């Protein structure tokens, strides 16, 4: 039987999140035995101190949510987050570069941020709601080339976006897993049935703000 707790990064990325809300998220993650939490960079230092002695991974985001900042800026964000205690970095890819078919720029961006991660895992958020299947596959190939550690579906911030889709996760897994990369599904994961389908399709992680609900079903 699948233990969802070992897949869940309990997530709070809304721009008006308060310290009290973040503390509640951290408490829930500890109480439910989740794999980790995913929070905005401004709360990484607080979370790391609050979780002292816990095995919970502290994950944060860079270039979030648009992915349109320069590679050097994303790299600085990643480096600062890691110095504050982040265990993993989730970076939003430059979607414009995908649309422009500027493949070299994407590889350079991922490599630049990967170097700044100082050995910590780097997940690349593709924002699949904005891409077709050919673009998703191509982005995954570039992540392999640039030696990212994960590909990830979504920020959850696209207006009217669906977020993680089973067919997208399956395509991502098929493309990257032969090369040792993993897949994180995120966005719109609100029930246990969908979570299990995503795992079956190849997701190694689930980014969700509904973690407590998922394990309580």
Identify whether 123 is a catalytic site residue: no
Q: For residue 143, is the peptide bond before it cis, meaning its omega torsion is within 30 degrees of 0?
A: no
- CB 128 within 8 Å of CB 157: no
- Strand intervals (E) in the chain: 8-12, 36-39, 57-62, 88-92, 122-125, 150-152, 182-186, 205-208
- Determine which one of 84, 90, 129, 149 is catalytic: 90
- Determine which one of 57, 74, 123, 152 is catalytic: 152
Identify whether 184 is a catalytic site residue: yes
Phi, psi at residue 124, to the nearest 5°?
A: -110, 115
Q: How many CB atoms lie within 10 A of CB 48?
A: 16
Residue that is written with structure tokens 């976006």 in the block = 161
* Angle (deg, nearest 10), helices 71-84 and 103-116: 20
- CB 163 within 8 Å of CB 189: yes
Identify whether 192 is a catalytic site residue: no
Q: How many CB atoms lie within 10 A of CB 122?
A: 24
Residue that is written with structure tokens 């699949």 in the block = 128
Active site residues: 90, 152, 184
């Amino acid at each position: 039987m699948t233990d969802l707790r070992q897949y869940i990064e309990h997530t709070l990325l809304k721009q008006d999140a308060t310290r009290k809300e973040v503390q509640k998220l951290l408490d829930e993650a500890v109480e439910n035995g989740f794999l980790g939490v995913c929070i905005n960079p401004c709360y990484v230092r607080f979370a790391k101190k609050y979780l002292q002695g816990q095995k919970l991974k502290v994950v944060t985001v860079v270039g979030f949510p648009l992915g349109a900042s320069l590679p050097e800026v994303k790299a600085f964000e990643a480096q600062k987050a890691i110095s504050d205690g982040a265990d993993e970095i989730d970076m939003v890819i430059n979607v414009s570069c995908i649309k422009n078919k500027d493949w070299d720029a994407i590889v350079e961006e991922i490599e630049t941020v990967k170097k700044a991660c100082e050995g910590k895992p780097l997940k690349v958020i593709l924002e699949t709601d904005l891409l077709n299947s050919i673009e998703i596959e191509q982005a995954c190939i570039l992540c392999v080339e640039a030696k990212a550690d994960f590909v990830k579906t979504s920020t959850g911030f696209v207006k009217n976006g669906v977020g993680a889709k089973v067919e997208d996760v399956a395509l991502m897994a098929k493309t990257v897993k032969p090369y040792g990369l993993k897949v994180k599904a995120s966005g719109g994961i609100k029930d246990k049935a969908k979570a299990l389908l995503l795992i079956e399709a190849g997701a190694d992680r689930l980014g969700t703000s509904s973690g407590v609900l998922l394990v309580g079903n």
